[in-house]
Amino acid sequence: MNQKIGLIQSRGLGDIVIALPIAGYYRDQGYSVVWPICSEFISHWQHTVPWIEWIPVTTDSGSFFFEQPIQALRSVDCTEAIVLYQALTGQEFHRRTFFQHTKFDQYKYTAAEVPFHYKWRLPEYITRNAAREQALYDQIIGTDTAPYVVIHTEGSDHHADFDRTIIPTNWRQIEITAATDSVWDWLTILERAECIILVDSVFSNIVDQMNIGTADSRYFIPRSHIGLTPVLGQHWNWIANTRLNKSAETIRTG
C-alpha cells in the first residue's frame, strides 16, 4: 500500500504531540502521512519526525485551521483526511456520538479510529538528535553538578505560577525558554532533572507520553477545566496554579 492519508490539526504544538502517534498508527498500516501545520512549527518536526510529509501553512487569516490544510492535501494528491479538531467554527463535530463523552485528547483518537493507548507510544515515532540535546544541555546546565529542577509555566494562552518555596534552596531552577527552535532539544535536560514542574502544555505532554522522570519527580500545574485537560498516563503530583488559587503542596525530597 502506498496510499496517502492527511491529518488536519494545524496547531498547537501540544495538540500535535498528543496526536503524533495517530500518524504513527497509520504509518504502521502502510500509509504515507501528510500533515499541514502552521509554518512556525515546522522546525520542531521536520528532523524529529522526517517520515511525515510536513506542509507549512500561513497564519495570515483564519483559513489555516481548515481551508488551507484541505488545499495543501489536495495539492499533493492526498484525498483522504482525518480532522482531529474537537471544535471548529463552521463545523459540526459536536454532533458525533462520542463528543460529550470523551476528553479532548481521547476525542482525537476516537475520531481517527486509533486505540487510545497509542498515545503513549510516542517514543517509537520520533528521531532524537543527541548532538543538539547535548549542546543545549551544555549551554543551559554546563558542568554544574548541583541538583536542578526544570520549570515550565508558559502555555499557549496562559501563564501559570506556583509557590516556589516548595523547591529546596540548594537546587538550581532551570526555566524552559525559547533557547532553541525545537522542543525536542530539551529531552536530555528533562531526563537528567531531579524534578520537573510543568504547566499543562507541550512539555507536560512530551514528559507524560515518553514517561520521563519518576512518580515522585513529576509535578503538574493544571490550567484548564476537565474537558480540556489531557488524560495523563503517568503518575503526577498535582500542585496548585496560584494564578487560579492559593494552596500549594511540598516537594518530597526523601
Residue 49 pLDDT > 80, yes or no?
Answer: yes
Residue 74 pLDDT > 60, yes or no?
Answer: yes
pLDDT of residue 61: 81
- pLDDT band of residue 249 (cuts 50, 70, 90) is very low
Tell me the mean pLDDT in the region 138-143.
97
Cβ contacts of 24-31, under 8 Å, gap ≥ 24 = 24/118, 24/121, 24/124, 24/125, 25/112, 25/114, 25/115, 25/118, 26/114, 27/51, 27/52, 27/125, 29/1, 30/1, 30/2, 30/3, 31/1, 31/3, 31/4, 31/5
pLDDT of residue 156: 67
Could you report the per-residue pLDDT of 16-32, keeping only the tens digit for each? 999 999 999 999 999 99
Residue 206 pLDDT > 70, yes or no?
Answer: yes
- pLDDT band of residue 247 (cuts 50, 70, 90) is very low
Tell me the mean pLDDT in the region 229-240.
95
Report the chain's mean pLDDT, rounded to a whole number: 90
Q: Look at the alpha carbons of 162, 163, 166, 168 in this order and tell me if their dihedral is positive or negative.
A: positive
Residue 154 pLDDT > 50, yes or no?
Answer: yes
Tell me the mean pLDDT in the region 135-150.
97
Residue 174 pLDDT > 60, yes or no?
Answer: yes
pLDDT of residue 139: 97
Residue 145 pLDDT > 50, yes or no?
Answer: yes
Could you report the per-residue pLDDT of 182-195, keeping only the tens digit for each? 999 999 999 999 99
Residue 34 pLDDT > 60, yes or no?
Answer: yes
pTM over 0.85: yes
Tell me the mean pLDDT in the region 116-132.
98
pLDDT of residue 92: 65
pLDDT of residue 2: 73
